[in-house]
Chain A
Amino acid sequence: MKGSSKAAPWVFIGPTLLLLAVFSLLPILVAAGISLTDMDLAGLANYSNIEFVGIKNYIDVLTDPVFLKAILNTLFYVLIGVPLVVACSLGVALLINMGQSRIFRMFRVVYYMPSVTNVVAVAVVWLYLYNPGIGLFNYLLNSLGLGSVPWLTEPTVAKLSLILLALWRSIGLNMIIFIAALQGISKTYYEAAQLDGATTWQQMRYITVPMMRFAIFFVTITTMIGWLQFFEEPFIMTQGGPLDGTLSASLFIYQNGFQFSSFGFAAAGSFVLFFLIIIITLLQLKLQRKQAEE
């Protein structure tokens, strides 16, 4: 590290810093700027068409009933989706961690598979599975003597159907994080507990779960941020329908920006979402700190 040429480190990190500045830092400033203007297609063609409108976009977006609906839908996704993903990934991780044979290693692969596949492709497949007339899901329900489910045609059911697809896609990665954490717990704890005659259940309750606290917290935070930005599934499968029932805040921003070209309005919406993400994350952090103190 000594005696090296002074320029070398800058050559190594320079390109990265430049690209991050142009595509991460600058965009925030640009977004903040245009959120105060009426930037649209006319403004894109000729910058002299852009006018400063102050906080009008923010007032408009916060009083837009469609945006408020999108926010409520997003909170619905978070409230149902986050606990489901955390519980299912943790459950699968605990089960997989119980066994040692080759088949348990195979399960890791099986459960991880949906996470590596393309979202458009799996959405197309699930659209076929959810199809009300010829889909596999309704056929299976009918042959069990149950009625058909309006998978994507009833607003609340449609939200749950999208959650099911997203759950299927996200178990894998979170499960891997949990397994890594489980294997990091020192064996001596379990040996001591076994000497004291603790049952498997007691070991899990008093050793595993407390030792996993940080991993659970980490997965909860990242999953929550992910659900607050929920976009691809409703975009590909429902376009936000029926009756804006599956419209998420991210999809609202995308549609206003790229389909209606209201760049200023959409940028204001994106900052409202950003603000929401920060608030909820800070709340979660505070809650975690409080729990840790107890």
Chain B
Amino acid sequence: MQQQPVVSAPVPAAKIKKKSSSGKAFQWTAGIILGVIGVAMVMPFVWMVLSSFKTEAEVKQIPPTFWPESFNLDSFKMLFTEMDFGVYLGNTLLITLFSFFGLLLNAMAGFGFARYKFKGRDGMFFFVLATMMIPGQVTMIPVYLILNSMSLTNTMIGIVLPGFISAFGIFLFRQFMSTLPEEIMEATRLDGASEYRLFAQVALPMSKPIMAVQAILTFIAGWNSFLWPLIIANDEKLYTLSVGLQLLKGQNGTNFALQMAGATFMVVPILIIFILFQRQIIENYNISGIK
């Protein structure tokens, strides 16, 4: 926990002179307020996990039990026997894998915009950023129609293709890659390396910090993807975990133990990944330089 983050956050201003007793009291008050609200923030997750181990009957009890009477795994087993969560998990992982190809495209574009001067570059970069302004509701229907005319509805490609490009991702890659030292680039060129080798063997490895953050965020976004799989996949064989969970909710509206097991199955892996990599994810927004 000691190593410094990518872009070092300045020491909080308070550190300098706030050894006074009023500062201490302030800190204690802040800590207590944050603690109380913090308990409320995590409560839904705690309740979800605890309920997922309860039986169908126990989950409906009034008054509810806090701690499950026994930790039973029936609901989790049902996800795989009664529902097709195995298939949904496979599809979700496949989508996530595909979206890493999109990540590579974003890195390439960021590199292109950062390291070359060519005609129309600034205009095109502005175009990339401008696409962030277009609301999803406007593009939702035409993108469906476009994919339909290419016969890509109900296919894995159709699900992942519209989400490949992240304008914000390109922006971050460009910011980072324009700080790489030009001398190393020139030296590699003098050694006779092509531009593509320069990108793959010099620029990419040097961009490891931003690559790591983007990879984690890509994984989280892929795992959570909901709207496109819902619109594009008619066949249950192509359902992702979130679409499958939506289906489960519709089919087992009153079996809350099963619903909580499904939710736990989706949420807990992401929470673990998030807690492991929280520093990089949170610092990501400091890199973007909003001040």
Which residues of A line the B interface, CB within 8 A? Answer: 1, 3-6, 8-13, 15-17, 19-20, 22-28, 30-31, 34, 39, 44, 92, 95-104, 107-114, 116-122, 124-129, 131, 133-134, 136, 139, 143, 168, 171, 173, 176-177, 180-185, 187, 190-191, 194, 200, 214-215, 218, 225, 228-229, 231-232, 236, 249-250, 253-254, 257-258, 263, 266-267, 270-271, 273-274, 277
Report chain B residues within 8 Å CB of A31.
138-139, 141-142
Q: Does B115 contact A (CB under 8 A)?
A: yes
Q: 8 closest Cβ contacts across the A-B interface?
A: A12-B112, A30-B142, A27-B142, A8-B195, A9-B116, A16-B109, A13-B112, A121-B263
Report chain A residues within 8 Å CB of B199.
12
B15 to chain A, nearest CB (A): 6
The DSSP consensus for interface residues of chain B is: helix
CB of A23 within 8 A of CB of B117, answer: no
Chain B residues numbered 122-152 whose CB sits less than 8 Å from any CB in chain A: 124, 127-128, 131, 134-146, 148
CB of B51 within 8 A of CB of A128, answer: yes
The answer for the CA separation of A136 and B260 in the assembled complex, in Å, is 14
Report chain B residues within 8 Å CB of A110.
38, 41-42
Q: Does B165 contact A (CB under 8 A)?
A: yes
CB of B41 within 8 A of CB of A168, answer: yes
B146 to chain A, nearest CB (A): 7
CB of A139 within 8 A of CB of B10, answer: no
The answer for the CA separation of A28 and B135 in the assembled complex, in Å, is 10
Report chain A residues within 8 Å CB of B83.
none
Q: Does B86 contact A (CB under 8 A)?
A: no
Chain B residues numbered 257-281 whose CB sits less than 8 Å from any CB in chain A: 259-260, 262-263, 266-267, 270-271, 274-275, 278, 281
Assess A20 versus B256: contact at CB under 8 Å? Given A100-B15, A270-B141, A274-B135: no
Q: Does B72 contact A (CB under 8 A)?
A: no
CB of A19 within 8 A of CB of B267, answer: no
Report chain B residues within 8 Å CB of A184.
10, 291
CB of A23 within 8 A of CB of B285, answer: no
B148 to chain A, nearest CB (A): 7
CB of B135 within 8 A of CB of A215, answer: no
B290 to chain A, nearest CB (A): 5
Q: A180-B285, A270-B140 are in contact. List 16 more A-B contacts (CB 8 A).
A: A9-B121, A23-B161, A31-B138, A111-B41, A116-B220, A116-B270, A116-B271, A118-B266, A118-B267, A119-B224, A121-B245, A125-B260, A185-B13, A228-B135, A231-B137, A270-B138
The answer for the CA separation of A10 and B195 in the assembled complex, in Å, is 11
- Point out the residue from A112, A139, A214 that lies within 8 Å of B282, measured CB to CB: A112
Report chain B residues within 8 Å CB of A257.
140-141, 144
Q: How large is the interface on B (under 10, 10 to 19, 20 to 34, 35 or more residues)?
A: 35 or more
Interface code B11-42, partner A: CB below 8 Å = 1, 0 otherwise?
11111110000110011001101110110011
CB of A4 within 8 A of CB of B266, answer: no
The answer for the CA separation of A171 and B15 in the assembled complex, in Å, is 25
Report chain B residues within 8 Å CB of A180.
9, 285-286, 290-291
A190 to chain B, nearest CB (A): 5
Report chain B residues within 8 Å CB of A16.
105-106, 108-109, 128, 165, 170
The answer for the CA separation of A200 and B242 in the assembled complex, in Å, is 46
CB of B38 within 8 A of CB of A20, answer: no
Q: Does B82 contact A (CB under 8 A)?
A: no
CB of B148 within 8 A of CB of A44, answer: yes
- Point out the residue from A1, A19, A101 that lies within 8 Å of B117, measured CB to CB: A1
Assess A113 versus B12: contact at CB under 8 Å? Given A13-B108, A30-B142: no
CB of B14 within 8 A of CB of A4, answer: no
Chain B residues numbered 146-191 whose CB sits less than 8 Å from any CB in chain A: 146, 148, 161-162, 164-165, 167, 170, 182, 189
Can you list 20 contacts pairing A with B, beta carbon distance less than 8 Å?
A11-B112, A16-B108, A17-B127, A17-B128, A20-B127, A23-B143, A27-B142, A95-B30, A109-B275, A116-B274, A121-B262, A125-B45, A128-B260, A180-B285, A180-B286, A190-B16, A200-B22, A249-B137, A270-B138, A274-B138
Q: Does B201 contact A (CB under 8 A)?
A: no
A5 to chain B, nearest CB (A): 6
The answer for the CA separation of A176 and B213 in the assembled complex, in Å, is 15
Report chain A residues within 8 Å CB of B281.
112, 116
The answer for the CA separation of A96 and B194 in the assembled complex, in Å, is 49
The answer for the CA separation of A274 and B137 in the assembled complex, in Å, is 8
